[in-house]
Amino acid sequence: METLYTVKKSIVPSFTILRILFFWLIIPVIFIICDILKYAKETVEIYDTCIKEKTGILSRNEKQITFAGVVSVSVNQSLFGRIFNYGTVTIDIVGKDNIYIESAKNPFELKKFLESKFIDSKNSTTNIIA
C-alpha cells in the first residue's frame, strides 16, 4: 500500500496555559524547597552562658559566642513580618561577625530574653570584677 497523505501533528496544543505557568513556576518552587530545607536545618541554641548557631545542609557550621561579647540586640521586621509575627534578630558581637537570626518567630520576645541574659551576664561579670 502506498501512502497518499501523511498527517503531521502540531506541537501547539502542548503549549497550554497550565503547562506554560507550570514551567515558569518550577524555578520558584525549587527555590522555595531549598529555603525550607535551609531554615529547617538552621538552629540557634541559647544556653545560660553562650549562644550557639548551627547552619548548613550538607556541611555543618557552628558558631559559639558568650553573652559577655554581646554589645546589643536589634530586630528588623518587614510588613509581612509584622502581620505574621516574624523578623530578623541581629546580635551585635564585639570583634566578631554578628549573628543574624532570620525569620525568627516572636522576634521581640526573643530580643527581651536575650537582653535579660545580656544584662544578667554583665551584672555577674561586674560583681566578679568588683
Q: What CATH number is given to the structural domain containing 79?
A: 2.30.29.30
88 forms beta bridges with 76
63 forms beta bridges with 53
Please report whether residue 10 resides in a domain. Answer: no
* Predicted confidence band of residue 121 (pLDDT cuts 50, 70, 90): low
Domain count, the chain: 1
Residue 92: all three cell numbers together? 551585635
Q: Where are the beta strands (DSSP E) in 1-130?
A: 43-46, 50-55, 61-66, 70-76, 86-93, 99-105
Residue 70: all three cell numbers together? 554581646
Please report whether residue 30 resides in a domain. Answer: no
Please report whether residue 36 resides in a domain. Answer: no
CA distance 56 to 25: 26
Please report whether residue 111 resides in a domain. Answer: yes
Domain around 73: 43-129
Please report whether residue 85 resides in a domain. Answer: yes
* Predicted confidence band of residue 49 (pLDDT cuts 50, 70, 90): confident
pLDDT at 77: 94
Please report whether residue 89 resides in a domain. Answer: yes
* Predicted confidence band of residue 10 (pLDDT cuts 50, 70, 90): low
* Predicted confidence band of residue 127 (pLDDT cuts 50, 70, 90): very low
pLDDT, average across residues 9-35: 77
CA-closest candidate to residue 52, choices 78, 43, 97:
43
Residue position matching grid coordinates 537582653: 115
Please report whether residue 15 resides in a domain. Answer: no
